[in-house]
Each structure stands twice: as C-alpha cells, then as structure tokens.
Copies of this chain bind each other. A is one copy, B any other.
Amino acid sequence: MRNIDGRAMGKAIGAEVTTAAAKLEAEGTSPTLAVVVPTNDEATAWYVRSIQRTAARVGVNCRIEQLSSPSVGELTAVLDRLSLDETVHGVICQTPLPEGATLAQVGEHIVPRKDVDGANPVSLGRLAAGMDTFAPATAAAVLEILKRENLDLSGKHVVVIGRSNVVGKPAALLLLAENATVTVCHSRTRDLAEVCARADVLVAAVGRAEMITGAHIKPGAVVVDVGTNPTDDGGLVGDVDADAIAERAGALTPVPGGVGPVTTMLLMRHTVDAAARQSG
C-alpha cells in the first residue's frame, strides 16, 4: 500500500494560491479570511492556529473573531456583519456551535459569495444542482486528492461512509458529478464491511478511530481517510486502521498528513477565488 502525501499536495496547491494572492495584492486587494470561533475549545484553537499559519504562508490575511460563549443571536450577528464587510472575502465558522444551533441555520448568515467552507444550505443546493459554488473544503479535498492521483472516477464505484452536511453528502455529490457510481453508508447500514468491500474508492468520514479494517477493503482500492480522532496521548488517528488494510488497499491518505493539509489549503484557494470575484 502506497501512502498518498497530502502535505506535498497541499504545498503544490499552496504555490498556485501564493501566486494568485500576490497578484490580487498587487492590484490593491488583500485577500482576507475571517474565522469566527464561537468556543474556547482547545482542539478548535489548535485547528485555528493551523489555519493562521497556512494563511500567513500563502499571503492570505486571517482575521480571527474569537467569541466567548455567544448566544445564537450574537453569533449570527457577527456573521451578518462579516457578510457585509467589504474588506472580508471569505467567512468560516468553527464548531462546536452554541447549544441549540445547527451549522445549516448558522450558515445561512454567511453570504454565499463569501461562503468558502460551504456552510450555507444555498451553497449545498448550488453544489447539488451542479452550479458554480464553494463546496465544503473537506469534501473538496477528497475530490482534489483523487484528481491529483490521476484517478478517472467515471464509472468507478465509490463508497462514502458518513452523511454529514459538511463531508459525506457534499463529497457524494461531487463524486457523482465526476460520473462515479456513489453509495452513501452510515451508522444504520447493514453489512457495512461487505458494502465497502465493493468500492474502488472508499471515503471514510465516520469519526470512529480505526474502525475500517481489511474486511472493508477491495484489493487495490484507494482509501481516503477523513477521520480526525484524538488519541489519549494528544495525537490524532483516522477512521482507518492503516496497518490492518496495508496488505489489501492500493493507496491511503494517512492521518495526519493526508486530507487535513489539502483541506486547509483549499480554504485559502477558495478565499483567494472569492476575493478575485469580489474585486473584479
């Protein structure tokens, strides 16, 4: 089994983004991403710092809007303000959200042209309808990785495990648009291993540490591991047990170093694209 190097892919995309950001800067537009953080959660803070570092590297301004236990109304007011702020081109909102809020409700307060992480249901609808829009960065990363692997998805059977609005569903829609035959599995799926073992490409977005084993793998399959499960010692493991699938899978995106770096870099690409459109 070959490891797919997400860090190298992230760097390659980063080089393109850096050029595009510098061009905008020279034309008088500073591409700017606003990151709304409605929580003091430490894992979130860690992820936000990694977004900041990536942004600095490619020349995207990153504005952090740290909120402390906001109400839903306070959070959506901030998103409404950023949606109107002409110096901001991309807006994302971190989780966990205030109690009682759903990402779809909150996402409706991010204007679609700045919705670089595809949180607004309008963006999801445009994606489903095959219109131009920003897909959630994680879902876009799944497709980006498969394309950079030169995989022709047409007619291939892809199984997506997970049906969230930010990964499973948009990834399935993107893969369908690439002419893959797509199956979406989830917690209620019967005989999960058997269904997965028919997949030419398996996308794991379950959120359960190392639950995908050899039994889930068709020999030679390409496996994209979207999972980021914290370990007791402060590390991170995916949804896939890399050792268990090593003898059957053809290739795997490792965790860390697979989907993550591509996702973060696609947020930057989306922000620069959004800035280019808004300044044009």
A181 interface contact, C-beta 8 A: yes
Which residues from 127 to 182 on chain A have a C-beta closer than 8 Å to any C-beta of chain B?
127-131, 154-155, 157, 163, 165, 169, 172-173, 176, 179, 181-182
A76 interface contact, C-beta 8 A: no
Distance in Å from the Cβ of A178 to the closest Cβ of chain B?
9
CA distance A194 to B228 in the complex (A): 34
A1 interface contact, C-beta 8 A: no
Q: Do the beta carbons of B176 and A184 come within 8 Å of each other?
A: yes
Q: Do the beta carbons of A184 and B182 come within 8 Å of each other?
A: yes
A264 interface contact, C-beta 8 A: no
Q: Do the beta carbons of B186 and A184 come within 8 Å of each other?
A: no
Q: Do the beta carbons of B122 and A155 come within 8 Å of each other?
A: no
Chain A, interface SS category: mixed
A52 interface contact, C-beta 8 A: no
Q: Do the beta carbons of A165 and B130 come within 8 Å of each other?
A: yes
Between A155, A163, A183, A186, the greatest number of chain B beta carbons within 10 A of the residue's beta carbon is seen for: A183
CA distance A173 to B172 in the complex (A): 11
Q: A186-B181, A189-B181 are in contact. Are A169 and B165 (CB under 8 A)?
A: no
- Report chain B residues within 8 Å CB of A182: 183-184
Q: Which residue of B124, B126, B128, B188 is within 8 Å of A179 (Cβ)?
A: B188
Q: Do the beta carbons of B154 and A176 come within 8 Å of each other?
A: no
Q: Which residue of B128, B172, B185, B195 is within 8 Å of A121 (Cβ)?
A: B128
A32 interface contact, C-beta 8 A: no
Q: Which residue of B lies closest to A165 (CB)?
A: B129
CA distance A123 to B125 in the complex (A): 7
Distance in Å from the Cβ of A129 to the closest Cβ of chain B?
4
- Report chain B residues within 8 Å CB of A184: 172, 176, 181-183
CA distance A185 to B104 in the complex (A): 28
Q: Do the beta carbons of B179 and A186 come within 8 Å of each other?
A: yes
Q: Do the beta carbons of B121 and A154 come within 8 Å of each other?
A: no
Q: Assuming A123-B125, A128-B169, A157-B195, what are 5 further A-B pairs, CB within 8 angstroms?
A: A121-B122, A121-B131, A122-B125, A128-B165, A181-B186
Q: List 22 A-B contacts (CB under 8 A).
A: A104-B126, A120-B125, A121-B126, A121-B128, A121-B131, A122-B122, A123-B125, A124-B125, A124-B128, A125-B125, A125-B126, A125-B127, A128-B169, A129-B165, A130-B165, A155-B189, A169-B176, A176-B186, A179-B188, A181-B184, A181-B188, A183-B184
Enumerate chain A interface residues (CB-CB to B < 8 A).
104, 120-131, 154-155, 157, 163, 165, 169, 172-173, 176, 179, 181-186, 188-190, 195
